Amino acid sequence: MSDFSYGDWARQVPLHHKISRIDWTLVGLIGLIACAGFAMLYSAADGSLSPWADRQMIRFATGVAILVCVACIDIRVWMGLAYPAYFVSLLLLVAVEVAGHAGLGAQRWIEFGPLELQPSELMKIALVLALARYLNGLGPGEISRPFQLVAALSLIAAPVVLVLMQPNLGTAALLLMCGCLMMFLAGLSWLWIVPTAISVMIAVPMVWRFALHDYQKARVMTFLDPGSDALGAGWNITQAKIALGSGGLLGKGFLMGTQSRLNFLPEKETDFIFTMVGEEFGFVGSIALLALFAVVLYYGMQIALRSRSQFGRLLASGIVINFFLYIMINALMVMGLIPVVGIPMPLISYGGSAMMTVMFGFGLLMSVHVHRSIVVPRSASGMI
């Protein structure tokens, strides 16, 4: 990796100094968004902390502890763990195919006693780490060379294919977009980007015919014409639109959302929780929540820009891109602007794996911030 000695990193900066260098304003913003999520889960349960809000609070508190621990670990240690984390996550994705737990028509979870783990969530962070390390080892313009480009694309393609097999189109698309955007930030030439974009458009008919499952095709057709099967495949998006539209400018008020309280709104505690925000707090409340997300994204990009190391910049940028894609895909999905793909709203939707993944990612972002003055040497080559 580099000539860095793992025994030295902890002695460079005392632990209490590292904790004091964490951006607590950003942590506070994250906590504010999470509190909005607790409120929505409380409302989704008809004014009860059980069964969702109380568990989510515990998960968030655990996540904050994880964030602080991860932030205090030197980014050079995370660089050393990047490839092992990637390959462990890849093996877990393979294990899902062999002995995974099926739910909602897909096989996405592995059971460890009472715990259920979703490896695709872990891969969202592991892929960012692996790509940041690989791209850190390349000089300016080297990413556009065929061999290096194929190696980077292989890092992206392996988990994307495994996640598609579950099948989980939404997460696969998120991994693909995040990886490609990181390559762009690392200096990928437009001479590769434009032909690739054209090739993707040409390949769409083949993907439709041979790669998509019937239920995924139904989602696309429903997206194009939800009214064609409003009581069947179009039910989710139709009810989500009704909930969003009925909120108007200021909303119906907290705990007053009829679509959710009468159980017309599907998956109200997970994928479609943003529609509850629109119904109960209206357009103003929805924009306020998205504005909070935007401020967090701004803070994240500032952390990326202030890092002295290429690895730190790429790692922080990848975490921010991942978080942005979470928000964008979920918001567009519940508004009917893209097909339903099953991506949760970060920090708002109920879910253990997603919450822990997001908080671990913010911990890595904070690690970049805490150790922003450290220069991470580029490896001798960008080879894996």
Mean predicted confidence (pLDDT) in 246-252: 91
> What is the band of 155 on the pLDDT scale with cuts at 50, 70, 90?
very high
> Does the pLDDT at position 11 exceed 50?
no
Higher-confidence residue of 17 and 64: namely 64
> Does the pLDDT at position 141 exceed 90?
no
Find, among 261, 239, 252, the residue nearest to 46 by Cα: 261
User: How far apart, in Å, do the first and last CA atoms of the chain sit?
Assistant: 10
DSSP, residue by residue, 331-370: HHHHTTSS-----PPTTTS--HHHHHHHHHHHHHHHHHHH
Mean predicted confidence (pLDDT) in 278-282: 94
Find, among 68, 37, 75, the residue nearest to 55 by Cα: 37
Higher-confidence residue of 13 and 80: namely 80
> Does the pLDDT at position 144 exceed 90?
no
> What is the band of 250 on the pLDDT scale with cuts at 50, 70, 90?
very high
Mean pLDDT of the chain: 86
pLDDT score recorded for residue 106: 58
- The secondary structure of the chain in percent helix, strand, coil, rounded to multiples of 5, reads 70, 5, 30
pLDDT score recorded for residue 22: 93
Tokens at residue 96, please? 């899902």
Find, among 294, 343, 301, 342, the residue nearest to 320 by Cα: 301
pLDDT score recorded for residue 138: 85
Q: Which of the residue ranges 154-158, 161-165, 201-205, 238-242 has the most confident prediction, judged by mean pLDDT?
A: 154-158
What are φ and ψ of residue 108, in 5° steps?
Answer: -130, -5
pLDDT score recorded for residue 301: 96
Please write the tens of the pLDDT for every residue from 297-312. Answer: 999 999 999 999 999 9
> Does the pLDDT at position 25 exceed 80?
yes
Tokens at residue 383, please? 């080879």
Please write the tens of the pLDDT for every residue from 177-199. Answer: 999 999 999 888 878 878 877 87
Between the CA atoms of 26, 31, 37 and 38, what dihedral angle is there, to the nearest 10 degrees? 180
